[in-house]
Amino acid sequence: MTEDAACAVAHGDVPAESGQRALVAVFASPVAEHLLRYGRDLGYVTMLVEPDPERAAGLDALAEVPELSPGADLVVTDHHRDELGPVLRDALRHEARWIGIMGNPRHEGPHVQALRDLGVDDSQIERVHRPIGLNIGSRTPPEIAIATLAGLIADRNGKPGGFDF
């Protein structure tokens, strides 16, 4: 019996060819913690960005958004932070594959006005995805992280999992 290549990957017999993928979680939060943990399991190189030195204490975190390659996915895990606008503005200056922010899709996100106040063009603001995960009814930090990562995988693979609600 001949085994197909996808089956061999699923069984761990051969590594998946995924290229260099980075997952950047912005703002130390329970969702960020789960995103980074699960992201490592999925083969992402993971990073936490936490600009507040007090919140970053004891964490392996960067103070600002690093250079983002076209293979990077960035997820903002808190839309109530004062640093929201500047962090997203800096992220949008890079060629990240995907940039998203948590939040209720029924309301305009606070990032829109924060970015406009900083002079960011609407075409750039439209690059920010919201909501960030598949619509599976997630509520807890682990569920939100799983929904987000599932959506990123579907989007990266051009599959219909998508972000439509």
pLDDT in tens, 86-141: 999 999 999 999 999 998 878 888 899 999 999 999 999 999 999 888 988 899 99
Give the type of residue at 152: L
Backbone angles phi, psi at 38, to 5 degrees: -70, -35
| pTM for the structure as a whole | 0.85
Residue 114: count other Cβ atoms within 10 Å of its Cβ: 21
Average pLDDT over residues 37-42: 96
Omega into 30 within 30° of 0, i.e. cis? no
- The string of DSSP codes covering 23-76 is EEEES-SHHHHHHHHHHHHTT-EEEEE---HHHHTTS--BSS-----TTEEEEE
Q: 22 forms bridges with which residues in the sheet?
A: 45, 72
Q: How far is residue 38's CA from residue 52's CA, in Å, rounded to a whole number?
A: 24
Q: What is the pLDDT of residues 50-65, one digit of tens each?
A: 999 999 999 999 999 9
| pLDDT band of 163, cuts 50, 70, 90 | low
For residue 144, what are its two tokens?
A: 């939100």
Strands across the sheet with 98-101, in order? 45-49, 22-26, 72-76, 98-101, 128-129
Q: How far is residue 81's CA from residue 110's CA, in Å, rounded to a whole number?
A: 10
Q: How far is residue 73's CA from residue 150's CA, in Å, rounded to a whole number?
A: 13
